[in-house]
Amino acid sequence: MTESSIRYAAPGRINLIGEHTDYNLGFALPIALPQRTVVTFTPDRGDVITVGSDRAEGSVRIPLDTSPGDVLGWAGYVAGVIWALRQAGHRVPGGAMSITSDVEMGSGLSSSAALECAALGAIASAADVRIDRIEQARLAQRAENDYVGAPTGLLDQLASLFAEPATALLIDFRDLTVAPVVFDPDAHGVALLLIDSRARHRHAGGDYAARRASCERAAADLGASSLREVQDRGPSAVAAVTDPVDARRARHVLTENNRVLDLVAALGNTDFAAAGRIFTASHASMRDDFEITTEHIDLIADTAVRAGALGARMTGGGFGGCVIALVPTDWAEVVGRAVHRAVSDAGFEPPVITRTRAAAGAGPCG
């Protein structure tokens, strides 16, 4: 085990399409963001990791034998990684860890997975432990599910770990395969706008868990262990679901899986007009069938399209966060101004609008 400092970074992510499909063993198509969380870890021979963050005062001492419930708040994600690594039989050294990040928290950009993957990479590197990326994703997910208590799927961790520049990732959650898909709209006169509503959400709340439970009930009604098993039956299969709300939730998942594959085909043809229409259809499904958007988010997406975007959709788990829009480059400023004006006129906090791109995944940094 080295005693020198290790620096490891992991990015936030945008999910281009495929919302709430991961835990239903479906498809998704995320990219990594340029924004990253950087962990600097200096190991020692102690039995505690002391963690500090540029976003919090003071530090948190995490015993290496920590258990779920011991550490709450932002440090719980680091504690969860320590716990998951040790549960899997990996050696974890004590030491001091400092965290810096420009991944916005609560915006649906997966700041939690960025922290988990960066902390895991730093600890594993310091302990000279080699863990393949699929297993890293599983360990980070276990930290979030079983230690923090947020019932998320694997999308965020896989996106953070496997991402490449100018590339989206087609993830099949049934087979746990990750395939690269060229995604470089800038090269074709199209901008990807990231519109942060400034409305924050929390995955550990009940809404996310309720959607997951609804999907599980729908699958059970259809005699399946997951909704992926009935994908080939088409959206009409949901007619056999007993509860009408569960049926709508299932319909979103089945149609969203189709939209992921349709978007991959559109990108393969560099057809960004078709890609935009798929974005907008996905947003309608999240709004009407899965019911995870908000009036605020809907206003942003609808305004962007009316102002000239090829398409727009919420990205992330829902109930706040960000909207993404594909916009002809020459129209980007017009769309941005229209969204700012509409949101301000409605009495909401002004959004933060940036152009973004697909960036590299997790790894050591100098």
pLDDT at res. 319: 87
Q: Among candidates 140, 208, 155, 145, which has minimal Cα distance to 32? A: 155
Average model confidence (pLDDT) across the chain: 95
* Tokens linked to 94: 């004590």
pLDDT digits (tens, 9 = 90+) for 207-264: 888 999 999 999 999 999 999 999 999 999 999 999 999 999 999 999 999 999 999 9
The set of catalytic residues is 156
What is the average per-residue pLDDT within 114-136? 97
Given a cut of 90, is residue 106 above it in pLDDT? Answer: no
Mean pLDDT calculated for residue range 116-142? 97
Place of tokens 């974005």: 279
Residue 145 carries which DSSP code? I
> Which pLDDT belongs to residue 173?
96
Asked if 317 and 30 touch (Cβ cutoff 8 Å), the reply is no
pLDDT of residue 204: 42
Distance CA 227, CA 215 (A): 7
Q: What's the rounded mean pLDDT across residues 35-40?
A: 97
State both tokens at 276: 């935009």
- Reported as a single tens digit per residue, the pLDDT across 314-345 is 998 888 889 999 999 999 999 999 999 999 99
**Angle at Cα 28 formed by Cα 23 and Cα 29, nearest 5°?**
150
Residue 205 confidence (pLDDT): 57
Q: Give the global pTM.
A: 0.92
